Each structure stands twice: as structure tokens, then as C-alpha cells.
Amino acid sequence: MLALRLTRAARPAVHLRRLLVAVAAAGTGFLLLSALGYAVVHPTHSTAALLRLSWCLGPLAATVYLAIAVARTDPGTRPRPGLSALGLGPGRLMAIAALNTALACTLGSLVALLAFLHLRGDLPGMAFDGAAKDFLAANRSLPVPAALTLLAVLPVLASAAVAVILRPRDLPDPAARARGFGRFGAYGNRTQAETFGTYGRFGARLFGSPPRPARPATDGTAPSVPADTSAPDGSAARAGAEDATGQAPAERAPRPAAASGPAGLAKTPGGLPWGVAVIAAGLAVESYAGATASPRTTLPGGLTVGPVGVLAGWALTALGLTLAAPGLTHLCGRLLQAVRPGALRLLAGRVLMAEATRIGRPLGIVCAVASAAFAARTLYAGGATLAFGPLTALGGVVVAGCALATLLTAAVETRQLRADTTAALLRVGAPATVLRSAAALRTGALLAFFAPLTLLVADLAALPLAR
């Protein structure tokens, strides 16, 4: 009930994002039911039915990824001060986010089932004739348990993924983490190891007078420290510099580490070398598979492509782009600040470097989808045997739409995370036009860097099939 109330009280933008998840779930559910219909019509073609079912893995993964991105930007499941006292701690908010995701995906699955039954003629309406009977199984009874099982896969996977991503992480209290054990088990805040002179100092305090506190200096110089002769290594003289709190001046005011340039503000993502290696491996697999004499494969909807190895190469190339995109985004931020940057370029570059991981991964997926679409268009223009059926078009639309929606949702998330920084800049007098110009500069830099990269990968991916 609480999840329904939070869903109803959300803003229109939040409802729009949830509606996108439901639409993507409807398209994926229809593809799963179509694979089931083909298996019912052709019970002896188990390999072809399994291939059609595996063709649904791409839209399924894209829908789950979109659901995770939407759940992370949902303001109703964001921890706030005071909610734990009402029983809405991080665990409860995670459960609400998973339930909202399950509701959206279930709604989309029900819409897919109704559309599939309507096209079959089971509901009032007109069934399709001709080639549509191949995947609708209009003249056969549809196994209800199998259909419900396939439709339940997406809500279960999406809600489980959201629960794993948004699970509460037990972070130790900063005060408890800073507390340490002092001399002989006494509580204190010292984090440095005790020296040998400590034990001599302990004996001196047992059998002699305790060291006198340092007298404050009146001439502005450092306070004088009385020497303790009970410590042979002179550590008691250093200990005398501690104040009443038991902390040395160096411990009270540690000097911050100097950040050398932009690298000190944002950690460089570490997936760039692995991503380049996986892209090279994918292109090599495509070239090898295109040169062999393997039979061609017909995908759902009538799409006829080269060997199955080429599809594996495309999958590796897409994975490599996803891994390398955060590092490339970080590199774009560095290039924006390369030569005597002004305030605008410096702000745009630092934001790109700080948001490289959050923006880079959805951007890499968009580049992978765009490169695959461009490669298919290149092959079609070159006279290759490409027949796009309705299911192929539906799968492509679901994957491309989910990738683009995930990228826009990630942009919304980054804007929410830096809302405090933006408000602080506005309070100190930064013009709003500067912030908009920095956002436009970041977008232009990403387009100028990733557009040629996408075209290059698409050309290299289409080269084995064009021969």
C-alpha cells in the first residue's frame, strides 16, 4: 500500500520514466510470447525455437538495465533524514523500489499478453493471416503455464536486479572508525603506533611525578615543552607536545594531500584497457567468422545474416564499448582542460571526469547499439541479404529505445546528484548561462569524440559480412 501511495504521489517525470519501463516490458514480453508461438507451431525445430528465444536476451537485458536506471532516480525511494524513525530505513526503501519495478514490468507483461491474444483471435478482434501465423500459433492452443512463466521472467529479474543494486550497505560510523585504542587498552583517538619510549614514560608516571603541561608562550612562538628524562629515545619530549585532548598538532590539523591537476579530483576508471582488448577480440572474431564457409543463419522475423560467430563478435564488440566508455569519457574531460582552460572549460571538464562512470556506461551501450544499426544499414545498402520482419524491427526498437532512455535517465541522475553543487555556484554569483554553456560544451565534446568512434567500429564490424 505504501508503494502504491508513493507511486501515485510522484511527479509526472517519474511517472513518465516508469511508463517507459512498462512499454519496454510490453515489447520484450511480446517477443517472448512470439518465441513460444513459433515453438508451438514447429515442435520439431527445437534449434530454431531456441535461437528465437535467445534473440530475446538482448531486449530482456536492455529492459532490466533501464529498470535499474529508473529505480536509482526515483525520488520516492531516496533515503531522507527521519524516515528510519517511521520504519522507512534503507532496507524498506529498497523493497519499495523493487516492488515499484515489479509493478511496472508486470503491467507491461499483461499488456503484451493482451496484445498477443488479440492478434491470435482469442479476444474480440481480427487475427493476422499469412506469415503472422508462424509466431502467433493462431490455430493451436497456447500453453498457459509456459506463457505465464515466460512473462514472469522479466519482473522477477528486474526486481531482483534493483534489490541487489539498491541494497543497503553497512558503512561504519566515522566517529567509531576514527576511535582507536590508546596506551594499554585505553580509548583514544590516536592512530599512530606507540614507540618504545612509551613504556618508559608509563613507568615514570607510576613511580614519579607526571610531566607538567606546556606553558603557553607570550611572544607568539611555539610553547615550551619540558623534557622527560625517563624516555631514553626522547619520545617523551615529543609526547609533551600533545594538548589536553591527547592529539598532537600534526594530528589535529593534517596537511591535505596536494592534488596534482584534475587527477586529484576524480579517480580514473580502470576499464579502458580491458575494453580496448575486448573490442579487438570482437573484431577479430567477426573477421575470422566472416572468412569461414559456415552456413548463414536466419534470425526471427526473416533477418538473414552471416555465421553465428559474427553475432558473437558483435556481442564482444558491444561489451568492449561498454567497458571502455567510462575511461573514454574521463579522457574527454581531460582534453577539455588540456591547454590553458578558462572557467567554462574547466567546469565542463571536471564534471565529465567526476561523472565518467555514471555517464560512460550508458553512453557505451548507446554507441554499441548505434554501431550495430549502422553496420546493418551498410550491409543493406551494399546488397546483402537482409529481410527485416516485424519481430526484428520490434526487438531493435526495444533495444535502441531502452539504451537511449537509460542514457537520458543517467543524465537526470547526475543532475540530481550535483544539485547541491549547482546551488552553491548560483549562491556565489555564477551566472546560469555559464552552467548551461558548460552542459552544452560537455554534450558537444562527447558527440565529437564518440560519433567518429561509433562509425569506425561500425565499419570494421560490417567489413567481414560485406565480403
DSSP for 190-209 reads --SPP-THHHHHHHHHHHSP
Angle between helices 356-381 and 390-417 (to 10 degrees): 160
Q: Identify the pLDDT of residue 166.
A: 87
* Alpha helix ranges (H) inside 192-294: 197-207, 235-239, 249-252, 272-291
pLDDT number for residue 461:
80
Q: Which residue has the cell 561500425?
A: 458
pLDDT for the residue numbered 446: 93
Q: What is the pLDDT of residues 89-103, one digit of tens each?
A: 777 888 888 988 999
Other beta carbons within 10 Å of 41:
17
pLDDT digits (tens, 9 = 90+) for 296-316: 545 444 444 445 667 778 888
**What 3-state class would DSSP assign to 310?**
helix
Rg (CA), the chain: 31
Task: Name residue, grid cell 508513493.
Answer: 6
* Residue 429 confidence (pLDDT): 85
Q: Which residues pair with 298 in a beta bridge?
A: 304
Q: Considering only CA atoms, which of 29, 36, 37 is closest in space to residue 111?
A: 29
Q: How many CB atoms lie within 10 A of CB 400?
A: 16
- How far, in Å, CA of 344 to CA of 447, rounded? 18
**Cα gap 193→325, rounded to integer Å:** 43
Give the three-state DSSP class for 181. Answer: strand
What is the rounded distance in angstroms from the CA atom of residue 352 to the CA atom of residue 418?
A: 12
Under-70 pLDDT residues of the chain:
1-9, 79-87, 124-134, 170-265, 289-309, 378-388, 464-467
For residue 404, the model assigns a pLDDT of 94
Reported as type and span, the H/E element at residue 304 is strand 304-305
pLDDT at 226: 47
Q: Which long-range contacts (CB under 8 A, 24 or more apart) does 74-80 make?
A: 74/10, 74/14, 74/17, 74/100, 75/10, 75/11, 75/14, 75/416, 76/6, 76/7, 76/9, 76/10, 76/14, 76/100, 77/6, 77/166
| pLDDT at site 186 | 47
The C-alpha cell at 159 is 526486481
pTM of structure: 0.73
β-pair partners for 305: 297
Q: Count CB atoms within 10 A of the CB of residue 386.
A: 17
Q: Specify burial of residue 299 (Cβ count, 10 A radius: 0-12, 13-18, 19+).
A: buried
Q: How far apart are CA 363 and CA 352, in angstroms?
A: 13
Q: How many CB atoms lie within 10 A of CB 194?
A: 15
Collect all residues with Cβ–Cβ distance below 8 Å to 90 and sequence separation of at least 6.
Answer: 79, 168
DSSP string, 372-436: HHHHHHHHHHTT------HHHHHHHHHHHHHHHHHHHHHHHHHHHHTHHHHHHHHHTT--HHHHH
Contact (Cβ atoms closer than 8 angstroms) between residue 388 and residue 373:
no
